[in-house]
Amino acid sequence: MKRAPLIALAALASTFVADTARAQTDLLPDIVIRNDELYDNAIVTNIVPGRRHIRLSTGTPNIGAGKLYVYGGADLGNGKQQVIQRIYRTNGTFWERNAGQFVYHPTHNHIHVEAWCQYYIREVLPGDGVGAILAEGEKTSFCILDLAVYNSSLPGFPPGGQFNSCSSTTQGLSVGWMDIYSKELDGQWIDITGLPNGEYWLEAVVDPDGHFLESDETNNAGRIKVNIGSGSSTILPDALESNNSRTETAARVEGAINSPNLGPCNPEKVVTGLTIHASTDTDYYRFYMPSTGTASDFVRIEFSNGAGDLDMRLQNASGTTLATSDSTNNFEQIGMSGRAAGYYYVQVYGWSGATSPNYTLKVNPSANSAPSVTVVNPPAGDIELEHGLDAYAVTWTSSDPESNPRWVTLYVNDTPTLDGTEQLIPTSINTPAASGTSVINSAYVTPGTYWVYASITDGGTTTGDWSTGTLTWVPPCPADVNGDGEADVLDFLDYMDAFGACVNQPAPCAGSSGIDGDYNGDTNIDVLDFLDFIDDFGQGCSL
């Protein structure tokens, strides 16, 4: 008599479980290229003698619903390790999948995700079409970190980030965070030897081989126009293009390298190498004035009138023209005296369609009361970190007597003084002070002990503050074979295994554990390697 109700209840429960399972959703990452980092590029001839390269910076934000979470799996030998991608779901569970390889990067002394980005030079077709690949860089491996805030308003954004180490254990990108690899780092280049001078697309593609599962696999490329070479009869667009409207200019990252959205300009911002490259070209620049202008404050362009007559307009934030300078001199200048604090635009254009192969922009804004900043972290004392593995999130508080927007740039030095030997952290340049944090990647410093200086500006006056404590980045443990920061018994066994397999053989020789037996780097694998390893192992390397 009770079987039917029980069967019905079981069926209902089964339906509920199935519906609940279907309701769970994968919180997938979505990694893209931010174009603003690509504008930080330079053509150099010092990488390989006789060859020309373009160096470029790359920013890879995560705009997805979930974090990119990867960790090391099986040892594949030859310095490589399996990458496992962990995908979280809306019910708090997760599942995992294979996703490429980690590889040891000898220049940076840490594990990288292999083939994270690839870079191309492509043909510009009529109508700004994207043409054939004309040059490409090697696939670049990254240590993936939460290095900069990209969008703190995204759902699931974690203040402070989660991923701050380049160890083989865990890497990734939190929602709303971005990794940045600047053009100064190894591998951030394309060989352009023999490529004719002209205008091209510079393109970066993240995860070009599709190793990682994302919510959108179609938005992994970013590109900007670049100009290669000089001496052509054709005037090429300058490095701050495209800035042909107020909308384009305002959309660029404020205060970034080669951004026409200039942001803070004190005490005077000077931008050289600018061009009006076509009769229809007009350049817009946005800058901030922190207080009412004085008689000594101005905006100015300098050029050769004989090469092309340029004129200039000053506009307010809504685009209303406030003043025009249209003489036949070799400069145009507009004073800022009496003009209120706020954002302004400078428009530069050729008179009657004139072009110009070279002009300079100068912005001299008003000065005012100084903002203040206090470095909170690192706190008093010393924090020991492993060089090549550990990053550190510097934090601060700030204020301004006139409530102006503020920007912070970080420096480090081995003494708490600005003595000319301080090192700029390039990924921190003009970080919005309101974010309260910027991450130092040890790839930008050498091993040592450092105080951190936060330089703050409101666009008119600059000041700063030193940390009360220090950061010490120590070299990687030479006897730490398994990358856990310690010389332990597993390291000993791993190295002894490699040594036994390779003794009396020339380097490189990979033992059964995949470790080269040449410990001391003399290209011979012999008893000296054994003795040197034992010496380092005996000292230990625990952090």
The DSSP secondary-structure symbol of 8 reads: H
Instruction: Select from 56, 458, 536, 70 the least CA-distant residue to 254.
Output: 458
Question: Mean pLDDT, to the nearest integer, of 246-250?
Answer: 96
Q: Predicted confidence band at 388 (pLDDT cuts at 50, 70, 90)?
A: confident
Pairing of strands 298-303, 331-335: antiparallel
Q: Spell out the domain ranges in the chain.
A: 35-228, 246-364, 372-474, 491-539
Strand-strand pairing, 282-289 and 41-44: unpaired
Banded model confidence at residue 516, pLDDT cuts 50, 70, 90: confident
Work out the average pLDDT over 218-242.
Answer: 85
- 543 has pLDDT over 50: no
Q: What pLDDT sits at residue 536? A: 73
Q: Is the pLDDT of residue 6 over 70?
A: no
Task: Report DSSP letters for 89-113, one per residue.
Answer: BTTS-EEEEEEEEEEEETTTTEEEE
With beta carbons less than 8 A apart as the criterion, state whether 518 and 527 touch: no
Give the confidence band of 7 by pLDDT, cuts at 50, 70, 90.
very low
**Contact residues for 417 (Cβ-Cβ < 8 A; gap 6+):** none
User: CATH says 372-474 is which class?
Assistant: mainly beta
Q: What's the whole-model pTM score?
A: 0.79
Position 489 confidence tier, pLDDT thresholds 50, 70, 90: confident
Helix axes 489-502, 527-539, angle to 10 degrees: 170
The span from the CA of 63 to the CA of 154, in Å, is 7
Residue 109: per-residue pLDDT: 53
Nearest to 467 by CA among 348, 343, 374, 334: 374
- Confidence at residue 160, expressed as pLDDT on a 0 to 100 scale: 86
Q: Is there a shared CATH topology between the 246-364 domain and the 372-474 domain?
A: no
CATH code of the domain occupying 246-364: 2.60.120.380
Are the beta carbons of 416 and 438 closer than 8 angstroms? Answer: no
Distance CA 400, CA 486 (A): 45
Q: What are the tens digits of pLDDT across the range 48-88?
A: 999 999 999 999 999 999 999 998 888 776 667 888 999 99
Among 193-202, 327-336, 463-472, 521-530, whose mean pLDDT is lowest?
521-530
Q: Residue 307: which of 268, 366, 350 has the closest Cα? A: 350
Mean pLDDT of the chain, nearest integer: 88
pLDDT at 500: 82
How far is 73 from 65, CA to CA, in rounded Å?
A: 25
Interatomic CA distance for residues 44 and 426, integer angstroms = 18
Q: What proportion of the chain, given as a percentage, has pLDDT over 90?
A: 68
**Highest mean predicted confidence (pLDDT) among 164-173, 228-237, 252-261:** 252-261
Asked if pLDDT for residue 108 goes beyond 60, the answer is no
Instruction: Please report which confidence band the pLDDT of residue 510 belongs to, taking 50, 70 and 90 as the band edges.
Output: confident
At 269, is the pLDDT very low, low, confident or very high (cuts 50, 70, 90)? very high
Question: Across 183-297, where does the E strand assignment appear?
Answer: 189-191, 198-206, 221-228, 261-263, 269-276, 282-289
- Helix runs in 312-459, H state only: none
Q: Please say if the pLDDT value at position 484 is more than 80.
A: no
Examine the pLDDT at 169 and tell me if it is beyond 80. Answer: no
Percentage of the chain modeled with pLDDT above 70: 90
Tokens of 303: 């050029």
φ, ψ (nearest 5 deg) of residue 459: 95, -10
Q: Specify the pLDDT at position 19.
A: 47
* Whether residue 511 has pLDDT greater than 80: no
Tell me which H or E stretch contains 62: none
Tokens of 214: 């994302």
> What SS3 state is found at 337?
coil
